[in-house]
């Protein structure tokens, strides 16, 4: 058996660990308060992979979940102490060669207040649902079109 490569990132109420295993089968994950274990068989060569992770802080095993896709297995570890950041995933301070930080999903949420975050989430949701023609006129004034606008002039023919 060998450990599966994984990336992790921290959020306000959960920590996410994404195991990079393609075509995983027989996925078994056991969540415990201060530890979790990951087992699977992956790829066309049926490689057995196993990771045992002693966590730096406690999780809620009943609220922790995972989701399998063709390319990975994403684990959502629900924090016991929501709002407290994790300096690392593992209890050991030494670097694990199979584990890295998922910088694409990392977010410095500690410095955001709850009010700022909720406002940002509402704004993001509004922008995602908005179509291009539905942009509101924020100041209520209509645009004035100038007759000398260069965009309205006909381009000369090419020779």
Under a CB-based contact definition with an 8 Å cutoff, are residues 90 and 56 in contact? yes
What pLDDT is attached to residue 131?
47
Higher pLDDT, 75 or 112: 75
Look at residue 58 and tell me whether its pLDDT is greater than 90: yes
75 CB neighbour count, 10 Å cutoff = 23
**In the predicted model, is pLDDT for residue 25 greater than 80?**
yes
pLDDT of residue 44: 84
pTM above 0.75, yes or no: no
Residue 67 CA, distance from chain mean position: 13
Domains in the chain: ranges and CATH: 6-86 (2.60.40.790)
Which residues in 26-53 are b (16+ Cβ under 10 Å) and which e? ebebebeeebbebbbbbeeeeeebebeb
Q: What integer best gives the mean pLDDT of the chain?
A: 80
């Amino acid at each position: 058996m060998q450990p599966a490569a994984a990336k992790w990132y921290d959020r306000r109420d959960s920590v996410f660990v994404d195991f990079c295993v393609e075509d995983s089968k027989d996925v078994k994950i056991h969540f415990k308060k201060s530890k979790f274990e990951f087992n699977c068989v992956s790829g066309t060569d049926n490689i057995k992979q196993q990771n045992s992770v002693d966590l730096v802080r406690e999780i809620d095993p009943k609220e922790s979940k995972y989701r399998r896709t063709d390319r990975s297995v994403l684990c959502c570890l629900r924090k016991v102490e929501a709002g407290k950041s994790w300096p690392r995933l593992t209890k050991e301070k030494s670097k694990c060669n199979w584990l890295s930080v998922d910088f694409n999903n990392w977010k410095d949420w500690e410095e955001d207040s709850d009010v700022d975050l909720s406002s940002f989430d509402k704004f993001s949701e509004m922008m995602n649902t908005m179509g291009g023609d539905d942009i509101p006129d924020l100041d209520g004034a209509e645009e004035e079109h100038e007759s000398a606008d260069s965009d309205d002039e006909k381009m000369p023919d090419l020779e």
